[in-house]
Chains A and B, each alone.
Chain A
Amino acid sequence: MTATARQEALLEVRNLDVRFKTAQGEVQAVSGVSLDMQAGECLAIVGESGSGKSQLLMACLGLLAANGTASGSVRFAGRELLGSSERDLNGVRGTGIALLPQDPLSSLTPHLRIGTLLTEGLLDRGLATRDEARQRAMRALEDVDISDPAARLRQYPHELSGGMRQRVALATALMCGPRLLFADEPTTALDVSVQARVIELLRGVRDRGLGVLIITHDLGVVAGLADRVAVMYAGRIVETATTAELFRDPRHPYTAALLAAVPRLDDSAQSRLQGIAGDPPQPADRFSGCAFAPRCDYAVDACSVQRPELRSIAAGGGTVACHRPLAAGAAAEAAT
């Protein structure tokens, strides 16, 4: 990687491993993940439940459960986050990296008013006076299209609808002026029309120059928002590509299968949805080879013996971890 040619990465993850000690032994949730993010870029991490994508975010913010450990390196704006003290992490959380939690119904403390929730980050750090914080909170609510912000500040979370709560959560996350936003499946708990608004707002956030790292299993969200995509399977990144590239030319059989599994509006009602045969591996399972091999249509003997490393392919800057990547254009032909 030529560091001089590129601008300094906002977030730089190198060889991140996340392990959990459980009663059944050690479980590895994330293995050797590396990724880079620039300011003003939206990266989506896609994968099935249990692929380790949420734990990746939690590890970056130092929010792993007590039995979890992370190793490797996570650098934010040049600062190493792994192994930092709680105090140092608190200097980054909220002000450097903010988190938009998954479920807006439970991510706002129920007995606190919206105004308190919005302003506490600023007031606690002494970044603003009460009046200033209030003004900024009102502006933050306007930014996420919430009407009558002055009245909202006095309301409690349960007085708002789910979509509004997610927008309030977004406003809260942005209050202390972070440079990077982690969005953990931000649209999962919302209905489709509300999802579209949240995606719209997140796009606005990116356009303001923040980095947005979004985790999702919804490829529609990816298509509407992300600049680049990383596909995770069983704790590893198996493919990275620009969004256009990925949708046009998936190179990893898993990615191709994921795309094929998306129901399409123009499918006839009779056609069967294409699932992926088999189940994703349990995090406790260990593989010497490719974790996807047992479910892969293209697998050969070598696949279950030797693990494919992530290597770059093509000129587009995409990478894939597969012994037998699909040829460019192969998936498009198969789909038609």
Chain B
Amino acid sequence: MAEALAATAPVQGLWTDAWQRLRRSRAAIVAATLLLLVIVLAVVGPWLSAYTVEQVDWSQATLATPPSLANGHWFGTDANGRDLFVRVWIGTRMSLLVALLSTLVSVMIGVAWGATAGYLGGRVDDWMMRFVDVLYALPYMFFVIILTVVFGRSLVLIFLAIGAVGWLTMARIVRGQALALRQREFVEAAIALGLPTSTIIARHIVPNVLGTVIVYATLTVPQVILFESFLSFLGLGVQEPLTSLGRLVAEGALEMESSPWLLLVPSAVLATILLCLNFLGDGLRDALDPRQRT
């Protein structure tokens, strides 16, 4: 109810303001719309086709049939005769899921870690950030591969592994902001009010860095999708019969001379998602930058 009232208030809050500026950026709006379309297709797409992910269509002359409206394989079939339309949207679903959950994990750890280090400062900050530096020094890829080898291949592990490494940069960014924020007078006022440190960090520091965090997160999502594709390409990612965009591209690359659609279709979807997220991230960064305020 309070939210609704605030929205009708004559003077705008930080977020209404940002939203209005975002709406003015055509690139961001087009990107957001396209992205929404992709997400909707990822959710409902597989049900639109008469086929399932695993189903091999023996009725066709060859296993890998090119895209055709007549036989219901709108994007064609892969080398095993499975419908590509269904597989692409299942793959998109998986890629987006990995990307969003991993980003969520990295945002949560990164913000908590960075805000605590930056706010407390001094020796605690030194130790917390040296720990981050040490993790930075570990080869990212190597770390994830060890995790998958030790704990076996599971979907949850992929989220956690990617997220657990992805929080490092987030922590650094948030720490820098928190360091600057704790000098501000309103933080002093909060301390003088006798609020405990945890409350001050959670209520007075973290919301202030959210603008930066959101922007950085939208730029992390594409990275994670690419990384998952890479893991899948190496055979460490999502397992059959499930698939991801990364796997589909990798499989398509093997057949690209005989059946180019196997490479082109998933690549196009992947490229669309990445471009949209980058444009959206750009737009958000501009919209949330207070210097842009007129």
Contact = CB atoms under 8 A, between A and B. Distances in A.
Contacts of B2: 113, 154
Contacts of A66: 121-122
Nearest to A125: B194
Interface string B1-20: 01001100101011000000
Interface stretch (B49-57, B156-164, B197-205, B273-281): B197-205
B103 to A, nearest CB: 22
Interface in B3-61: 5-6, 9, 11, 13-14
Contacts of A94: 192-195
B152 interface: no
A108 B204 CA distance: 10
Main secondary structure of the interface of B (DSSP, over half): helix
A172 B197 CA distance: 18
A20 to B, nearest CB: 15
A106 interface: yes
B189 A121 contact: no
B189 A120 contact: no
B192 A109 contact: no
Contact of A111 (B191, B196, B207): B207
* Max chain A Cβ within 10 angstroms of own Cβ: one of B13, B189, B197: B189
A14 B200 CA distance: 31
Contacts, number: 93
A95 B194 contact: yes
Interface residues of B, number: 28
A108 B5 CA distance: 21
A90 B186 CA distance: 17
Contacts of B122: 66
Interface in A86-116: 86, 89-95, 98-99, 101-103, 106-113, 116
A211 to B, nearest CB: 16
A172 B199 CA distance: 16
Interface in B129-144: none
B9 A154 contact: yes
B5 to A, nearest CB: 6
Given A109-B204, A154-B6, A154-B9, A103 B185 contact: yes
B181 to A, nearest CB: 10
B214 to A, nearest CB: 13
B291 interface: no
A214 interface: no
Contacts of B186: 106-110
Contacts of A107: 185-186, 188-189
B264 interface: no
B18 to A, nearest CB: 12
A121 B195 contact: yes
A218 interface: no
A159 interface: yes
B192 A61 contact: yes
Contacts of A98: 192-193
A91 B194 contact: yes
A156 interface: yes
B196 A124 contact: yes
Interface in B167-216: 184-197, 199, 203-204, 207-208
B253 to A, nearest CB: 48
Given A109-B204, A154-B2, A124 B185 contact: no
A63 B195 contact: no
12 contacts: A90-B196, A92-B194, A106-B186, A107-B185, A107-B189, A109-B186, A120-B195, A121-B194, A154-B9, A156-B13, A172-B189, A172-B193
7 tightest A-B contacts by CB? A94-B194, A93-B194, A99-B192, A106-B185, A94-B193, A109-B186, A90-B194
